[in-house]
Structures are given as structure tokens and as C-alpha cells.
Amino acid sequence: MGRDRSPYIEEPDLEARPHRQVPVRERRIRAALLVLGLSQLILAAWQGFAPGNFFRTFAAFGRANDHYVRDVATFYAALGVVLLLAVRRPRWRLSILAFATLQYLLHFVNHVVDIGKSDPSWIGPADAISIGLGAVLFGLTFLVVARSRRRGG
């Protein structure tokens, strides 16, 4: 009731058809969301449970601050959880993926600005590349989901 029926935002009611086989495209989207969600939870766990190790290994910009690293872990944990929930909640997908893509792009810009300020120096470029790849992965997943919605599936 009151739902917009345009093909762009309409998605299949996957829970209403449990006896039917899930389309290949939907299985691939679910797999991508699962991998992205788990990767965010792994990152959050590393930051949350071993902030000093995370800082020394992959975030050595300025002084170490375990509290701040754990604060950032809460963001990645929340993102990981909503990505995993989106595996079964198709209507959440575009919003979550748009947010994640934007966040990763902004994070990438921040790392490009500070690319030469890490110690050891290889961390700056490695961080920028890994975060840039994350932005690309989120962006591509967003495009696949948007295209799937336009096709009605």
C-alpha cells in the first residue's frame, strides 16, 4: 500500500517465493554483499581488538591513538552489519552501497592528501591503493544492483 511500483525501485519479493530458484544475478549480488560485509567486519575486529597492531601495520600516520582506531572500528562494524543484512533486504542495497562508495571515496582522497606522511613511507601509497580499490568495488556493486533494479530483478 502506497508503494511506488516503478521498475527502477521495485525488487522481487524474494521471501515470498522460497520454493523458486534464486536467479544467478541475485546470487552474485548476495555473494558480493556477503564478501563486502565480512571484509568490513574483519577490518573492524582487527581495529577493535588490536588497534596498536593495526596502526603499526597499516595506519602509521602521525601518533598512534588506540581510542581513535577503535572509534573507526565501530564505523566499519556498523557498515559490515548493514551490508550483511542487505543480503536478505534488497530495498536497503542501493542506499547502503551509495553511502559506502561515498565514504570510501572521501577516505581515499584523505589518504591521497597524506600519501607522503606515513612511516614507513610505503604505507601511504598502499593505503591509498587499497582504499581506492574498496571504493571501486563498492561502486561497481552499486552499479550492478542499480542495473538489476532497472531490469526488475
Query: What is the extent of the structural domain holding 91?
Result: 22-150
SS (H, E, C) 29-65: HHHHHHHHHHHHHHHHHHHHHCHHHHHHHHCCECCCC
17: pLDDT strictly greater than 70 = no
Domain count, the chain: 1
Domain membership of residue 16 (yes or no) is: no
Domain membership of residue 8 (yes or no) is: no
Q: What is the pLDDT of residue 16?
A: 53
Q: What is the pLDDT of residue 1?
A: 47
SS3 of the chain: helix, strand, coil, percent, to 5: 70, 0, 25
Instruction: Please answer whether residues 73 and 94 qualify as being in contact, where contact means their C-beta atoms are separated by less than 8 angstroms.
Output: no
Split at pLDDT 50, 70, 90, the class of 116 is very high
Q: Against a cut of 0.85, is the pTM above it?
A: no
What integer is the mean pLDDT of 122-135? Answer: 96
Mean pLDDT score of the chain, rounded to an integer? 89
Domain membership of residue 17 (yes or no) is: no
